[in-house]
Amino acid sequence: MTESTPHFIYLASQSPRRRQLLEQLGERLSLLLPDDAEAAEALEAVRPGEAPATYVRRVTGLKLQDALRRLTDRHLPPAPVLCSDTTVALGRQILGKPRDAQDAADMLARLSGQTHRVLTAVAIQSGQRRVDALSDSRVRFAALTPADIAAYIASGEWEGKAGAYAIQGRAAAFVEHISGSYSGIMGLPLFETADLLKQIRA
């Protein structure tokens, strides 16, 4: 693929949902994955007192920087690079990916009967140009019983998910109401992403 290929984009993400969502827009993509998954996870460390929106934008910027370095190091053909990060926020508290099943159960107990925000930042670099967007959705969870939480933990679906749940999976049964972007909650807000793609191609 070359620079002149009209709809070719690098997706720097290990998330299969992001890949599906970007493909939903009709994009041809090539994955630009990190060599070291642990180093990639380390980018997601939260700074003390950091506000959720600041955090998710900062991490997206770090992912993008890292991805652009890989593009150069691997001598790959130039094309736009897209990165994204999703986090769940309960007030000012950031709920990232759970460390283990106990951590996941604790997160779900905190989300039970509450409204939280799901923030997804997207950034695209195309040559010297960088564009970005932030999707901010609200999700209201029903009151969860200990049995609901135990069954969900047993499903394993919480693994690798911000806030320990996936709206596109069984946790849909916990979601009373959303406002914002369903695709953003899943990990890539398609309205905003389509707009950014238009901007870089204008």
Ligand X SMILES: Cc1cn([C@H]2C[C@H](O)[C@@H](COP(=O)(O)OP(=O)(O)OP(=O)(O)O)O2)c(=O)[nH]c1=O
**Binding residues for ligand X, total number by CB under 6 A:** 23
Q: How many CA atoms lie within 13 A of 147 on its CB side?
A: 0
Q: Is residue 167 a contact residue for ligand X (CB under 6 A)?
A: yes
Contact pick of 13, 125, 183, 193 for ligand X (by CB under 6 A): 13
In the residue annotation, 85 being an active-site residue is answered as yes
Residues with Cβ < 8 Å from 179, sequence gap 6 or more? 137, 138
Per-residue contact string for residues 120-139; x = within reach of ligand X by CB under 6 A: --------------------
Contact pick of 55, 64, 85, 183 for ligand X (by CB under 6 A): 85
Distance CA 160, CA 139 (A): 19
CB crowding 134-144: b at 16 or more within 10 Å, else e: bbbbebebeeb
Six-digit token pair at 185? 């909650």
Determine which one of 35, 73, 85, 148 is catalytic. Answer: 85
CB of 143 to ligand X, least distance (A): 19
**Is the Cβ of residue 6 or residue 61 nearer to ligand X in the bound state?**
61
Nearest residue to 85 via CA among 130, 127, 134 = 134
Give contact residues for ligand X (rule: CB under 6 A): 13-15, 17-18, 44, 84-86, 88, 97, 118, 160-163, 165-168, 185-187
Q: Which residues are catalytic?
A: 85
